[in-house]
Structure 1
């Protein structure tokens, strides 16, 4: 199996070819928005971090922004800094440039304010876009694919249909030599022992239990149990009654292959196969985590209907509920509810969805890309704002 992607100078392959406009700190999000809205081929990497944080979180944010700029879907990067942030902007620029892609920088305080920064940023973004616009797609093997998987706005159909389809695709991609990453540590609580059985080594199994315990301890430090927030009110309305029930359905999307290892939030896989990444359950931080890991596309399972995409990676929405699919057909890409109604088998819909994913990896737009519902994202941090 093959797709048509942009082969980068470092050997990675992109499914898109954007200029990533990266704010080093929340304070310059409006500058980035102004630059991105006035130029083509640009995507703003909006977030709410970068200053007044403890050193571990500042390091995490810096690492995250570096990895987002290094994602193969970014053909070039423009870093917009304020000038007094806590993020290490010199390292940010240098490590993105080390991949061989062109990088420019604008400093709002040094250039003389917002208006001048916007104008300079537009000029630089235009230059970068022109520079990468001539790059052509090439045929590449599916072994080059790195796919992130996620479920959100789940209901009782998610674990019966849409998660099952994604699990089928996860197995097929791994069998083809590709890489699949799943996270949402909060959403395999109560089912972690099932995942641990699939760990490649005892050490990997121990790490699965470790990240679950760590996530539960974070909730307990607030004086509450994780089950006070999971399942969500929307999950409960959709027929999910306990976190264990939700988790049993959620882990189905990981397929059946051995788990190679467990990644921290800013880490990327070191080899092909199936990987776990330690993340929360909320969409904006999970999709960011997958892009940090190098994902060129994401498979998103939903039952009640979660419409958002991501700035630099296509998000294919796979809906398990046939009623939701009909009600939100402008947002959902794949109707996995056909399994519920008996019109498709898991294998039939799985193969159709794999073909759809390959088309998306080769340039076909998803529903959320087409309506530009792609700006929601943030970086998962651990400590307080100080």
Structure 2
């Protein structure tokens, strides 16, 4: 049976990727320029910006950080990136790498050339204003199912996560993968104890072994500090939400990936090379994971939460799904969809899975999420143990 015709509308990029937003990203490549970037974006409808705490240090995380910046600058939801720089060789290297990664245009505005912070802001503001007008003039065109690169995320999990929102997301994810899209599960810490079940779904033994090794590698990186990560889970917030064991948390988190076979394993911020379901090695920290997703070409994310985590991205529309009605019906400024109706008995798991699938299509086609309305533009660089920071 053939797939139904795609109802998706997006922005075609020169390299075959698709965006579901057409942002101008103001990207500071030094922490001293973060305030300037936010001021520019706040003054220009259609522009977004991030903030961070990095000052160009070359340490054990240098490769991870520069790859993240370069990938983030080339996310397909971006029309053009305007990079604010001090004028260092490190920043020049990131820009060069970004241009190799992606054909998304990148314009640099240097503090060294501007001569003052005021002049930097006024010069960049002129460019950003011009670019937002160009972006607004670009129209959406019909996009194939393969245009979707879906990020699967959960945060503030509770006792309902594994029986409502997460398996409903799994149903939606399976359908997108079946139609030829890409879906990415992440948060290595969140699948501890369930990795063998995911590995059993791998397309081949090599991919299965990679899933097992990613988890084992993570545990080795923690254990050298004398930390029993399995004994430290679930977190306090999870326990307050009703989770009692690591197994309960991990099995519930894995439900986001549905039942599709795993096509491959990705390192942090690495891009998938073909459609299918992937596992990405990321921290369990919500904002770090979302940042890695953006650097890896994810163009839409679903974030399930039992505690109401208010996390969003500057460049990825992030759909918030409540696991329980008690929270979902109260935090209406944060939650896009309430999956608590499953446990309430008013809707079935399959019905909510279909509703969520339809919601993803609507958001891809331009419907703004609550996180977008609230301007939740969180960004956090992922750093590993052994960093000098």
For the superposition of Structure 1 and Structure 2, which TM-score range results when normalised by the shorter chain? over 0.9
Question: Contact 2:85/2:91 (CA < 8 Å) preserved in 1?
Answer: no
Q: How does 1:189-204 map to 2 (within 5 A)?
A: 189-204=192-207
Q: Match of 1:9, SS? A: coil
Q: Corresponding residue for 1:70?
A: 74
Q: Corresponding residue for 1:216?
A: 219
Gaps of 5+ in 1: none
Question: Contact 1:149/1:182 (CA < 8 Å) preserved in 2?
Answer: yes
Q: How does 1:341-352 map to 2 (within 5 A)?
A: 341-352=344-355
Q: How does 1:302-317 map to 2 (within 5 A)?
A: 302-317=305-320
Provide the aligned length of Structure 1 versus Structure 2: 383
CA distance in 2: counterparts of 1:301 and 1:342, whole angstroms: 19
Cα deviation, residue 302, structure 1: 0.8
CA distance in 1: counterparts of 2:32 and 2:102, whole angstroms: 27
Cα deviation, residue 50, structure 1: 4.7
Say if 2:24 is the partner of 1:19: yes
Cα deviation, residue 381, structure 1: 1.9
Q: Corresponding residue for 1:384?
A: 387
Q: How does 1:151-162 map to 2 (within 5 A)?
A: 151-162=154-165
Question: Contact 1:204/1:261 (CA < 8 Å) preserved in 2?
Answer: yes
Q: Corresponding residue for 2:64?
A: 60
Please identify, of 58-67 and 295-304, the stretch whose mean Cα deviation from structure 2 is larger.
58-67
Cα deviation, residue 93, structure 1: 4.7
Say if 2:273 is the partner of 1:270: yes
Q: Match of 1:250, SS? A: helix
Consecutive aligned runs of 4 or more in structure 1 exceeding 6 Å deviation: none
Cα deviation, residue 230, structure 1: 2.8
Q: How does 1:120-159 map to 2 (within 5 A)?
A: 120-159=123-162
Gaps of 5+ in 2: 1-5
1:165 to 157, 165, 168: 168
CA distance in 2: counterparts of 1:88 and 1:317, whole angstroms: 34
Q: Corresponding residue for 1:92?
A: 95
Question: Contact 1:162/1:301 (CA < 8 Å) preserved in 2?
Answer: yes
1:6 to 3, 11, 28: 11
Question: Contact 2:186/2:279 (CA < 8 Å) preserved in 1?
Answer: yes
Question: Contact 1:167/1:256 (CA < 8 Å) preserved in 2?
Answer: yes
Cα deviation, residue 339, structure 1: 0.5
Cα deviation, residue 139, structure 1: 1.3
Question: Contact 1:50/1:61 (CA < 8 Å) preserved in 2?
Answer: no
Cα deviation, residue 238, structure 1: 0.7
Question: Contact 1:97/1:103 (CA < 8 Å) preserved in 2?
Answer: no
Shift of the 195–50 alpha-carbon distance from structure 1 to 2, 3 Å rule, reads: farther
Question: Contact 1:93/1:105 (CA < 8 Å) preserved in 2?
Answer: no
Question: Contact 1:191/1:244 (CA < 8 Å) preserved in 2?
Answer: yes
Q: TM-score, normalised by structure 1?
A: 0.95
CA distance in 2: counterparts of 1:48 and 1:114, whole angstroms: 18
Cα deviation, residue 75, structure 1: 0.6
CA distance in 2: counterparts of 1:97 and 1:103, whole angstroms: 11
Shift of the 332–68 alpha-carbon distance from structure 1 to 2, 3 Å rule, reads: same
Q: Corresponding residue for 1:80?
A: 84
Q: Match of 1:158, SS? A: coil
Question: Contact 2:183/2:277 (CA < 8 Å) preserved in 1?
Answer: yes
CA distance in 2: counterparts of 1:166 and 1:252, whole angstroms: 8
Cα deviation, residue 52, structure 1: 2.1
Q: Deviations over 1:44-79 (max 9, x none)?
A: 13222352241x522222211111111110010101
Question: Contact 1:227/1:243 (CA < 8 Å) preserved in 2?
Answer: yes
Please identify, of 88-97 and 155-164, the stretch whose mean Cα deviation from structure 2 is larger.
88-97
Q: Corresponding residue for 1:40?
A: 45
CA distance in 1: counterparts of 2:362 and 2:55, whole angstroms: 36
Shift of the 27–229 alpha-carbon distance from structure 1 to 2, 3 Å rule, reads: farther
Cα deviation, residue 21, structure 1: 1.0
Question: Contact 1:297/1:315 (CA < 8 Å) preserved in 2?
Answer: yes
Q: Corresponding residue for 2:3?
A: none
Q: How does 1:206-355 map to 2 (within 5 A)?
A: 206-227=209-230, 229-355=232-358
